[in-house]
Structure 1
Amino acid sequence: MEKLQFLKIHLSPFAALLFLLQFLSLAYSLTENNFFINCGSATNANTDLRNFVGDLNSSDSVSSSFSFTGHSSPVTNSNQSSGTSSTLYQTARIFRSNSSYEFDIPNNGIYIVRLHFFAFSTPTDLSTALFDVWTSGSSLLLNFTGKNSSNSPIKEFFLPISPGKFNVYFLPRGSSFAFINAIEVFPAVDSYIPDEAKQISSAGSNNSYRGLRSWTLQTIYRINVGGPTITPEIDTLWRNWVPDDGYLVNLGSATSRFHSTEPKYGGNVSESISIFTAPTLVYQTAKVAEPKNTSGNFNLTWSFNVDKSAGHLVRVHFCDIISVSANTLNFSLHIYNNFSMLIDPYEYGDLLAVPFYIDFVVYSDDSGHLNIGIGPWVDIINNSAFLNGLENNSAFLNGLEIMKILGNSGITLSLQEHKKKNVFIIVGSILGGLGLICILVAVFFWIFRCRKPKSIETSDWSPLPGGGSSHSRMTEGTIPNMNLGLKIPFSEIQLATKNFDAKLRIGKGGFGIVYKGTLKNDTKIAVKRSDPGSGQGLPEFQTEIMVLSKIRHRHLVSLIGYCDERSEMILVYEFMANGTLRDHLYASDKPPLSWKQRLEICIGAARGLHYLHRGSAGGIIHRDVKPTNILLDKNNVAKVADFGLSKSGPLDDTHVSTTVKGTIGYLDPEYFKSQQLTEKSDVYSFGVVLLEVLCARPAIDSTLPREQANLAEWAMLCKNKGLLEDIIDPSLKDQIEPNSLRKFIETTEKCLQGCGTDRPTMGDILWDLEYALQLQQTTMPREPHEDSTVGGSAALAMPNVWRFPSISMSIERDDMPAIMDDGSYTRDSEVFSQLKADGSK
């Protein structure tokens, strides 16, 4: 194999000017948006055109840009031969208790957060540290140890951050401690993380993944294919790139190439490609695979160890530096063994040396390895490879980036709020930045005569991350400003509810009592209050806050605020004047809803669930879909509620293994049996809700004969006997358009399939229900056999509904238990999210 030795890197004058320009752009905003901290030090460290401010610096005359909360101590590396000459790794800050750095973030956007961990020896051996690292809403590192951290001291993350306070928490495990050498927080180029990418599963499916910008990503690999190590001083965003040889499966068949041609950024059809995408050297080097025989067998494969329980954003970089002329080459990119994509470099630009990249969201095949390859274009139909007939039959790859999708989870902190904070002031960043700018501005005017740099605009963006559950016990003040100012003082809630007046009580749930209230601004609210000091329902409380504080949708109930003072757990919602969907179907004296109203309510609920599954919320599984968790406002607009059991999970056919949670009668039988949760579990539950809407009876009614107790089973029996019309709500029989009914039952049938992969997505269900509404509102020509209201639908095959273990007949009609985290039960009529209007029961 031909292998290049890069002893010196020679840059052309033009490349040198571009290099200066890119750093000028970054240096210009150094004092406004960027935070570089030299932890545990009283001196600043100038590293690669960044000025890391010692966090022991202070000044009473300058306003603070970051602050520190908690108890810690600075330490110094006493061993000068510890294997590093970096100034950043000569000091560190040690945390013996839960602590945090807090930053004032001025703008929305995706930020790069880098944490430096270099375990040197002091009186305390830093390599023995064991701790977690969280941010405001996301877990970055769990059970992180300082052992071997010196081999790879930098952990890099991409996070969506909103304006305001942004915290990085350090939480020691048990009797251990935490430490940090340096912290970087600065905005990425706006286009660096896309919101949408091709989604690839190990089975080869190719869908579209949306909502990437809502998730936290961790850089796992950054590879300069065919080239040398690239260190931060020659990278526009101070990144590290490592050679690819250690990841090649068949190293002997690869050839490294280098070409001094400058990448033609302006020749790319995509404006997202710039000098910030990757260093010039990435696009000037490549690994090339060339045919060894006429069969065209010249595949190259790289293999990477990955977390098999997570999805990964994979970015592949290309730049044709190997062809003599344009339009003479195309080849295949492989991910695993079941997905191939034709790479035509000239689809992205008509010239040679035009850089481009392609993003994929890739899910593991459970092997713990991610394989990426290049080779001849493969004829998938005939399962054969062939040469493309062009002049150049080679394949090449320039770079690879792999980022783990961490998501955004519920907080599990026990960090106390401290009234007194140690405040560290950024002074050196201003002085150092001004000196650097003065030098570079002079260079800028000379360069400007030759070429004007392309400006980079940052657009406003508001992240909508998902949520998860937590399992820590809450103490006073355990959610430290994590939810964008949603904290409401206990005194204000007392005033709104007239000190929890019994006359304002509108319901009782397993979590506590629900009150109606009015805030000072006359906003009507529903207040859910746990039994003070009970500690019960903490995971649901935290999960509900994390989910609803980060998402907004017309068909999801809005969280107004929360209170965790004085051992209280209180959630405050918008008041839903018409109570729950169940109130309007049975168990109340409210007038029945029309068929059109019921369809509109089902459509609204489907929209809310579809947003949770596939919208900007991105991969949230509700896990407790039922009529008591579908609330109606004064206009009967449906809003999905109660996210206490919600789980951030994968899409499509992948699953997350978890303890079974939900309510009997609505539980997906496949989930109940396998404990493997998917979004299709919500689909099954929604199918049961559709039956309740049609039949106006509960999913489980133990007062009925045994064969009728389970609604889904009873519907199947009625179908088999040709008596499906007997179970429909009598108030509907004269108003349902037959074709609308057929479509509705067909949709319900698909939702209740025993195998989750046979069920539709919520997007498909939404489309079907909207079509059923159209059929109801439109008089459509009918065939003679379609005259009956329900006769045609009776012929539809209902699914085989699996039976659960026998349920005691002593349980009352509306008191079916909901399965909770600890395996205990709460009555369905006492569910956490029953927010009802005055007088409802």
Structure 2
Amino acid sequence: MSTTSFFNNLNSTIVQLRSLLSNTGVYYARSQNLMNQDSVYGLTQCRNYLSTQQCVACFDVAVSAVESCSSVNGANVFLDNCFLRYENFDEFYANPQTTMDVGVAPTGVCSNQSSNEPTTFTQTVGELLTDIQVATPRTSNFYVASTRQISSGNTTIYAIAQCVENTSRSICQECLNTAYNNLHSCLPSIEGKTIDLGCFLRYSATPFFEGNQTTNIIPFLSEGSSSKLCMIVGASVGAGIFLLIVALSLWYKLWKKPKADEASDILHDSEIQGLINYTYKDLQSATNDFGDEYRVGKGGYGDVFKVILDDENIVAVKKLRVAYDKAKLEFKREVMLIRSVRHRNLLRLIGWSIDGPELLLVLEYMPQGSLDTFLWGIKQGTLNWRQRFDIIFGIARGLVHLHEESHVKIIHRDIKTSNILLDDDFQPKIADFGLARFQLEDQSHVTTQFAGTLGYTAPEYATFGRLSEKVDTYSFGIVVLEIISGRRCTDMNFGHDNHYLLQHAWDLYEKKIHIELIDQALDPNEYEEEHVIKVIETALKCTQSPASSRPTMSEVVLMLSSGRSLEPTQLTRPMMVGPDRRIHVNAT
């Protein structure tokens, strides 16, 4: 096998797979390249709850992960949201009747946290998994997403099953039977998933798809299914309605008092020190029932509205999207934790509202809007170098406060240009840090829930869920490259290369021409090349892999404050390729 020929074919195959996934509604793609007898057969599949953009982004992460497989002629990458496989043989590719050829049994991956009500949780999840195990092979696309409520509480279980599209119903069923046996051993862990070449099965007590993305599995269930819902539907109408009414009335009596007491505890706590507890009706009235004319932004956490309160203060109200139970208690705890987090480069929390159907945060209003509008929006090209550097430096100082100076370490997890707001003096303020998860001092954290934006997110977090403050360092580096270049991190077609921004920046750096990264909208008379080069090198240092090679944010502030450039030997290209769609065998 010619290494050069094989990897040329592999790169071509990956480009073709990505192109196919870029079409709306395509979740499964195959491609092959047979030049010079160095065959490459590849396939990839995304979960059907993803958007096209999310699917392609997950594929990019999978491509990045196979760089460590550069010495072999096949690889498999399993991620929560997608998988990628390539080999130099076509048996798995061409024949849907072929049984899966993985050398080990399907693997179950279980959370180390158990449910507080193990018996009921195990029973409910077991029934849900059984139902989707039965239903999935009977669907046209071998995919099911379903939810189930825990009867003794307010927990909702989310689960999906998916088989490779180019297989048969019998092989899909066989694969899911094995996957179910492996996954059932995880219970009563609150989350579990299986790893297998032919199918994927996952459940979680934390939402990982929207409630309106479920599949109606009832038509696909056999009469003997274990689903309690099916048994209720199959009951006689008169007796079924009577029993249902009795059950609901008993459940309501048992449920109402603790829920009322719980809500009372929250609402009687009418003020968290330093914050204003607004009523939902007042904020609803001030926004004309959250009308579109008051909406000034949309984000991953919710919509933002511009509000003028009685004292003529202009504030921003963020209406949170919440899709999990006991949200009010968690919301209150987070507000209590962040109420005293104040810094000139962090968006200030003014108040909150918890007494209505939505959870609301009241924040200081930034009339200039978000940074992205100045880089590639309607205000594109209007920032000079001094303003851009001040924004970079301010973001760094804000992250230092979150990581090191606050009473609790806060890892943002979603640093990006749309989460950087600008005040009238073009000083940056980091938004949405109040919705991050918290990490205690001197503790590492592994999360099973991805909460970032692919393209900005560090490879170890996007791929394996490993969370540390260095995840924010990586995202900061990407944002700096965007600020300097005026280009999105997902932009392509830099010269002759079909590369994304990060790959393009590293290519320029290794050719010692990284000064060419500078936005052409900047006046060359407004900046010193040596200064900009130092900032670019600092950004690249922030994107290195592994995470331990990245500086802390306090070290970044020192780098930006000092007058010296980094030595070239201090910088090493990330081990991941990033979203550039190609595998670089000799990358270091």
TM normalised by structure 1 equals 0.35
Q: Which has the higher strand share?
A: 1
TM normalised by structure 2 equals 0.49
**Larger radius of gyration, structure 1 or 2?**
1
